[in-house]
Amino acid sequence: MQTIIEGAGWFIWPLGFCSILAMAVILERMLALREARILPKKALELILAGDFEAAAKAFPKTAGGRIVAYALRENPDSAALTAFARLEVSRMERGMFIPESIVSIAPLIGLFGTVYGLYILFPETGGMPDQQMLVRGVGLALTTTMLGLLIAMPVLLANNFIMRRIEVLSARLALVVERLNSN
């Protein structure tokens, strides 16, 4: 592990930052997108049964509860209720541009490290690099590429998982909106 960190040179800092930032956003979104925080089963049962007031009172801090409370308070038309639900979905997607960006940026940082590693192979005076310079340059090139890819791959998987979770929860909220519009 120490060899990998040393081999990445100063590129370990932006790669490490990408890794920590991605982990923080992914963990925060995983906690925020729990069913209990968006639309608990009991709330959905109450809404489907038509007991909107009980759902709004019992689950005021959930996305589904806020949509129902808005519908009861404002008596909006269908388009306004759909727009409000879209705002709730937008809240669920908060911060998801960060893992999406890191999936792209981490391999690019690794590629930049590769180019830099190859660049430092050749001395300014011309000629061939010595053995120590060759090992350092190739090590930097390979290590940064490897780390960039190792960061991007799990972040991509986690991002896809979370986006799918948002899609499923959005469909449930759409069901709530449809039920509210039918009354």
Structure tokens at 11: 């590129």
What is the DSSP-derived secondary structure letter of residue 96?
Answer: T
Q: What is the pTM (predicted TM-score) of this model? A: 0.86
pLDDT for residue 158: 98
pLDDT for residue 11: 87
pLDDT for residue 124: 67
Residue pLDDT tens, the chain, 183 long: 557 666 778 888 999 999 999 999 999 999 999 999 999 999 999 999 999 999 999 999 999 999 999 999 999 999 999 999 999 999 999 999 999 999 999 999 999 998 888 888 776 666 677 777 777 778 888 889 999 999 999 999 999 999 999 999 999 999 999 999 987
Q: How far apart, in whole angstroms, are the C-alpha atoms of residue 173 and residue 79?
A: 14
Nearest to 36 by CA among 169, 159, 176, 174: 169
pLDDT for residue 126: 66
Nearest to 93 by CA among 25, 142, 36: 25
Distance of CA 156 to the CA centre of its chain: 9
CA separation (Å) from 74 to 91, 101, 126? 20, 38, 76
